[in-house]
Amino acid sequence: MKTVVFDLDGTLADTSGDLIAAANACFRDMGAGNLLDPATDAGTALRGGRAMLRLGMQRMARPGDDPLIDQYYLALLDHYARDIDTHTRLYDGAMAAVDDLKLRGYLVAICTNKPEGLARELLTRLGILDSFAAMLGADTLTVRKPDPEHLFETARRAGGDPAKCLLVGDSDTDRNTSKAAGVPSILVTFGPAGGDMAALAPEALLERYADLPDLVEDLLGKA
């Protein structure tokens, strides 16, 4: 069967607000106050905890490999786990598109570089975990995106053929994953880095979720 695999952060949901809040909690613990701005630093937030901590270190005039990054990374995850869905919102039409894909006969799954436990908790709180046939996080396997095996195994666990999958994402990591896997990618343009997606030359760009099912049929064929 054919599988549509979604990234999570910045693709299905805008999680940047809660991620930045967790990072700022760490910076306050350091005595530095809030160093990240939810309005302007959302793109960094969606690249993960260490990316946010590195940016904060730079704003404190500390090196990008400062030991505080590793020291505070687990603390950041703890802050995030305690307050994971205050600001997070699903993108408009995301779940309607997921439901449409399933009605057309496609399998749907999630492949994210968010730790699996946190991803599962967030999806549960959003009430959509059971909508997906499989969900693999950064630590589910010994590899993670852009290693294509992360994508392939997601398709397998969903019950699909890994050679007949497609990745919907929002970053160069997602594009590099699909290229390494030899499968198409669709990159969303409504995330914080949306304006940069065309330069990555995906098979398709997605401006609104209502268009996704038809794009999938164009790229994968009917289910």
Provide the annotated active-site residues: 7
Nearest to 12 by CA among 116, 129, 105, 115: 129
- 186 φ/ψ angles, rounded to the nearest 5 degrees: -120, 125
d(CA 206, CA 223) in angstroms, rounded, equals: 20
> In terms of DSSP bridges, do strands 204-206 and 185-188 run parallel, antiparallel, or are they unpaired?
parallel
Give the residue ranges of DSSP H helices in the chain: 16-29, 42-45, 49-59, 67-82, 94-103, 116-126, 148-158, 172-181, 212-220
Residue with tokens 């869905």: 85
Closest Cα to residue 206, out of 65, 62, 7, 38?
Answer: 7
Cα 116–Cα 120–Cα 121 angle in degrees, nearest 5: 120
Tokens linked to 42: 């959302």
